[in-house]
Chains A and B, each alone.
Chain A
């Protein structure tokens, strides 16, 4: 079993839809949780990160962490075609630990 699991998709939604992306993990020592977006032929770029459990909002993006269930989510409101990319969850035990990535979910937002 991999440390971090993520539905690979592909996920296809109409423009304006609310998108929910999810990851589960097995190591309860993870405390830092990040979401990266990767466009084709580009390196990943950080969207947001959270520490421990709770919610964090940044514009159209909301990250949720439920450590008791070992489950994290990223919600995208009012999705746009420019959101079409692969979304990678990532996590670490400490702020200077190695980063463990999920396999990524491919998202397509159809105009």
Chain B
């Protein structure tokens, strides 16, 4: 079955608020995780990644948290803007060789004005 999943298919937040998108994974052998953003009519765009030897990594307005104990990954977006509206995917490498990544179904983030 699918080893990467998302808790909520749709998340609606007010502009300016912080957003948190969650992801659960089941493969304990996974050691590399990525968050992607996909806007309508475009391909997935890399946001931030994290390796399993880290618990937290920050980028510009985004933070990824990794909890290996409960196999949970989250993406925090600070001060959300209208341009943050998109579908967000988490992905893991599953530690299985050069066979790409395993993706979740995605969470649709909607920014309310």
Are A and B physically bound partners? no
Residues of chain B whose beta carbon lies under 8 Å from any beta carbon of chain A: none
